[in-house]
Structure 1
Amino acid sequence: MITVDLVKRRGQYLVIADDQDAITNWAEYMREDRLPERRVVHVERQADHPDEREAQWDELSGSVLDAGSESLSLLTVSAISHAHAAAIARREYALASAVARMGEVIDTHLEGGGNGWVAIRITDGSSDGELYDDYEDAWTAQEHPEGCTYLPISPLVPWTPRMCEEHLEFMTHLRHGCMTYGTPTCR
């Protein structure tokens, strides 16, 4: 008799992800606002027994290596279900991409000797490429100002990747309204 556990409880999940930019057609490839997305190829709950866990890891990592694609990777994610693990893997990739893009925007302005304000889109870390004199100018120039965060750019205020990550996560939670006393209530 097979028993099925329907109780959701936190566990480790193994996720095979494909980070190659999936292109479905030429029009999508040419869109400027198109962002690469992580495709989740396979998810399974990690075995409880250490020997089974090691064999499971060896089998999945072997599958990734056998595929011969540099864009495939095997990740370990703490989640409560298969779908939750896949969503976390996608979200982590999207956040890492947004952080990198935000850092590039800031660095580009700093390399050009810029001082002023920049509007960064919260969802993807991109910008309109402009440097504004003040916060109000940056706000009014945006088509969707509530979807942006506004930062002063100056050589005196360096931004590390960690600072970019924390800022984008905070602004995402603030925008969704899931902040309580400075702590996000969603996960």
Structure 2
Amino acid sequence: MTALGHAPAYRVDLVKTPAVYLVIADDRDAFTTKAEHRRPDRLPKRRVVYVERQAEHPVEQKAQWDELSGSCLDAGSESLSLLTYTAVSHAHAASLARREYALFNAALRMSEVIDTHLQSGGRGWVAIRIQDGGSDGELYSDYDAARAAQQHPEQCTYFQISPQAPWTHRMCEEHLKFMSHLLHGCLVYGTPTCRY
């Protein structure tokens, strides 16, 4: 490191080749006020504490893993976890960690919305927000009615729910991931072209 705290130019990776990065993430709820906890559209967020590129040599990799996992244990917080991502930079790895957590929680929320309707015997069309997996809580008679009732219809996904076709958490996650890529316009022949 230089006196200014920047890596010397010879150490900067200008060719963004994919590598494995180790990420320490804190999944403790980021909201601290009672008002934020009571908001119905509130989503928990993952805080990325530390990112490090994985060493090349297997012996160094093990030592690196042991040191970082030991740091998580020494912190004494159950919300800290050590994760691995294939990314092109430290920032990309941190972004992937945050995105994965947001997608998991959105899928959880989506499956809860579907289960709530199914438990009450509901059938019909539901509108789910792609960003957070939430809904307006209504069931609609058809696709057009569900779309027309939304303030931002392009940011939602619409489908029919029925006890004959239950949704698992994994199905919700895959659906929201696909719809997110579709919304961002990064699908080419059904395959995402972005790195997220």
Interval containing the TM-score (normalised by the shorter chain): over 0.9
| SS class of match (2:30) | coil
Asked if the contact 2:25/2:47 (under 8 Å) is kept, the reply is yes
Deviation (angstroms), 1:29: 3.3
Q: How do residues 1-187 of structure 1 correspond to structure 2 at under 5 angstroms? A: 3-6=10-13, 7-187=15-195
Q: Could you give the per-residue CA deviations for residues 102-126 of structure 1, whole angstroms, max 9, x where no partner exists?
A: 1111111111111101110000111
Deviation (angstroms), 1:58: 0.7
| SS class of match (2:133) | coil
Q: Could you give the per-residue CA deviations for residues 134-172 of structure 1, whole angstroms, max 9, x where no partner exists?
A: 111111111111111011010111212222122111111
Give the TM-score of the pair, scaled to structure 1. 0.94
| SS class of match (1:163) | helix
| SS class of match (2:137) | coil
Looking at structure 1, the residues matched to 38 and 163 of structure 2 have their Cα atoms a distance apart, in angstroms, of 34
Q: What amino acid maps onto 2:84 in structure 1? A: T
| SS class of match (1:149) | strand
Segments ≥4 residues shifted beyond 6 Å: none
| SS class of match (2:167) | coil
Looking at structure 1, the residues matched to 108 and 42 of structure 2 have their Cα atoms a distance apart, in angstroms, of 16
Q: Percent identity?
A: 70
Looking at structure 2, the residues matched to 139 and 157 of structure 1 have their Cα atoms a distance apart, in angstroms, of 21
Deviation (angstroms), 1:31: 2.9
Aligned to 2:4: none
Deviation (angstroms), 1:5: 4.3
Q: What amino acid maps onto 1:176 in structure 2? A: H
Asked if the contact 2:127/2:157 (under 8 Å) is kept, the reply is yes
Looking at structure 2, the residues matched to 105 and 26 of structure 1 have their Cα atoms a distance apart, in angstroms, of 24
Q: What amino acid maps onto 2:56 in structure 1? A: D
**Runs of 5+ in structure 1 lacking a partner?**
none
